[in-house]
Amino acid sequence: MTLRKDEAINNILTDYEKLANLVLSQLDEIEKLITSGKLQPDEEQFNQLTKNEKKINKLEVKLSEDIINSIALYQPVASEIRKLIACYRIVISLERIGDLAISIVKFMSQIENEEVYGSLSGFIMKMMNLSVDMSRKSMLSFLNEDMELALWTIQSEATVDGFNHKMLKKVAEKAVLLAEEKNVLISFIHIKEMVSGIERIADHAANIAEASFYSYQGKDIRHKRSKK
């Protein structure tokens, strides 16, 4: 029983690493797209993003089932149960980050006014860079049992929130000034949705970090982080 349990948990952690790497590859592609200043990926890039999204969805389902089965079949001890429950929570956040990555690309593709986007691209780039960094460190915090990375991720969420509030303020100010131009207003709407997606990626990264903290410290710190 012990050998089967250990093998099942190791297989789950191996699949977790595969899922994390897939999600990070999606975020890296979005980050490259935003940095390039282009509003649309080329056909090959979009096809790869779509293909990876399908892999992420399948792996999320497999991992969720394997985690539930391992708890039901192998009677893990308390520390192992915490790790498996934390992994289950993380897997859900990873799948949602994958969904958000695709949504961001779609919103970018619908932005009609490049000048409007260019005027806000600096903020967007900083937000995306930090959100990707948070995601990477939160995933590593679980894999490497690194609570310093987990705490850094949780603390960094307030910075992303600050960027988001500044962006929304700028979008509102510019939209009022240029509301008479339909394509400008539509562009602001899609930029707002795009930025909200980036902010939610940071939220999920913080959720992953909280799950890591629970797994290795035995403390549930959800709902205790403050937002500015």
Residue 2: what pLDDT? 84
The Cα 49–Cα 104 span in angstroms is: 12
Which residue type sits at 63? L
Tokens 């510019």 label which residue?
174
The Cα 155–Cα 159 span in angstroms is: 8
Residue 177 lies in a domain: yes
Residue 178: what pLDDT? 55
Q: Which domain holds residue 109?
A: 2-217
The Cα 228–Cα 218 span in angstroms is: 27
| Residue closest to 197 by CA, chosen among 88, 100, 97, 81 | 100
Residue 117 lies in a domain: yes
Residue 48: what pLDDT? 94
| Residue closest to 88 by CA, chosen among 55, 64, 60 | 64
Report residue 18 CA to chain centroid gap.
Answer: 15
Which residue type sits at 12? I
Residue 160 lies in a domain: yes
Residue 179 lies in a domain: yes
Predicted model pTM: 0.89
- What are the average pLDDT values for consecutive 10-residue runs of the chain, which has 228 residues? 90 97 96 90 92 97 97 93 96 97 94 85 90 96 94 90 74 59 78 92 96 88 57
Residue 154: what pLDDT? 93
CATH number, domain of 210, equals 1.20.58.220
The total number of residues written for the chain in this structure? 228
Report the number of distinct structural domains present in the chain. Answer: 1
Residue 217: what pLDDT? 86
Residue 35 lies in a domain: yes
Report residue 48 CA to chain centroid gap.
Answer: 18
The Cα 175–Cα 147 span in angstroms is: 42
Residue 32 lies in a domain: yes
Residue 130 lies in a domain: yes
Residue 227 lies in a domain: no
